[in-house]
Amino acid sequence: MNELVSLHDIQQAAARIRPVARVTPLLDLSVALPASCAAKRLLVKCENLQPAGAFKIRGAYNMAAQLSAAERARGIITYSSGNHGQSLALAAHLLGIRAVIVMPTTAPDVKIEGARRYGAEVLFEGTTTLQRKARAEGEARARGLTMVPPFDHPWIIAGQGTIGLEILDQCSDVATVYVQVGGGGLISGVAAAIKRVKPAVRIVGVEPCGAPKMSTSLRAGHPVTLDRTTGVTDGLLAVRPGELTFPHVQALVDEVVTIEDDATLNAVRWLFKEAKLVVEPSGAITVAAAFAGAGAPLDGPVVAVLSGGNVAPDAFARYLG
């Protein structure tokens, strides 16, 4: 088994990213909960308020900042559905590094424009993680670029794990934490941080019904590649978990549940109307899981990570309906 990221790794990452990544607020939305909500006390971790609009700045900056001078000079490349690409573009801009981002042909304009705004070159390839990964690896070889993967690297996982440290600081009696599952970097880091400090806290992964790559892999006992993925949560549509993130989830996560798109869009609407928060579907899926009480006896404070808020105005208007 690959070695799991340590608490020390995450603590070092927290110090490294402090000048760039925000300590995002943990908002208590309990007073606004609908009567049908399974959670009685719900707090949301507002990563939609990060620079570049998503939690990804944590891992992207943590890795980019540790590259050697030679690696920085060659430039960096990644493959991303959008949020990691934007965040790496920002990290590269801050560090004076040339960046290339490979995005799917279906990437939302708001995420493409975000990466370009920070000076990155954007390339397009296919619709799946594996397709854009292959293109990025080819470009890296041909152009001598340094790869900064979106989730399957210990430095990326450690950066994302800083969210877990903040949750423990902001809600010392937290009982359950819902975390999105795309490729698995976010939940791997959050679980690694929280379980090392408070192992009794229940960690529940949440993925869309149209992209159950992690739950399928857990049942199989090894990473599985799905034939296809679909749904409104564009940031969570990876077809396969990472080779490093999978053992983290296997060892540290209590359960992984799946949520329908309709429930996710209801959560998008509720967060806007009741909390005045703009959250993309990938970010709101955890609130949908908390509403349903999926995967957990909700007997204490429940935290739902809002992973990002990068959503085009026209799409957001449709979601609000």
Residue 184 lies inside a defined structural domain of this protein: yes
Residue 303 lies inside a defined structural domain of this protein: yes
Domain of residue 197 covers 7-54+153-320
Please check whether residues 134 and 69 belong to one and the same domain.
yes
The single residue of 45, 56, 133, 195 carrying the catalytic annotation is: 56
Q: Domain ends where: 115, 147, 179? A: 147
Please check whether residues 50 and 140 belong to one and the same domain.
no
56 is known as an active-site residue:
yes
Query: pLDDT tens across 251-301, in order?
Result: 999 999 999 999 999 999 999 999 999 999 999 999 999 999 998 777 899
Residue 1 lies inside a defined structural domain of this protein: no
Q: CA 35 → CA 30, 31, 296, distances in Å? A: 11, 10, 18
81 is known as an active-site residue:
yes
Domain count, the chain: 2
Residue 46 lies inside a defined structural domain of this protein: yes
Please check whether residues 49 and 62 belong to one and the same domain.
no
- Sheet order of strands, 121-124 included: 121-124, 99-103, 76-79, 146-147
Closest C-alpha among 57, 65, 64 to residue 84: 57
Quick one: residue 78, left, alpha or beta (phi over 0 = left, psi -120 to 50 = alpha)?
beta
Report residue 2's pLDDT band, with 50, 70 and 90 as the boundaries. low
Cα separation, 205 vs 182, whole angstroms: 10
- Percent of the chain with pLDDT strictly greater than 70: 99
Please check whether residues 207 and 299 belong to one and the same domain.
yes
Q: Domain ends where: 113, 147, 181? A: 147
Residue 72 lies inside a defined structural domain of this protein: yes
CATH of the domain at 84: 3.40.50.1100
The single residue of 45, 80, 81, 87 carrying the catalytic annotation is: 81
Please check whether residues 214 and 180 belong to one and the same domain.
yes
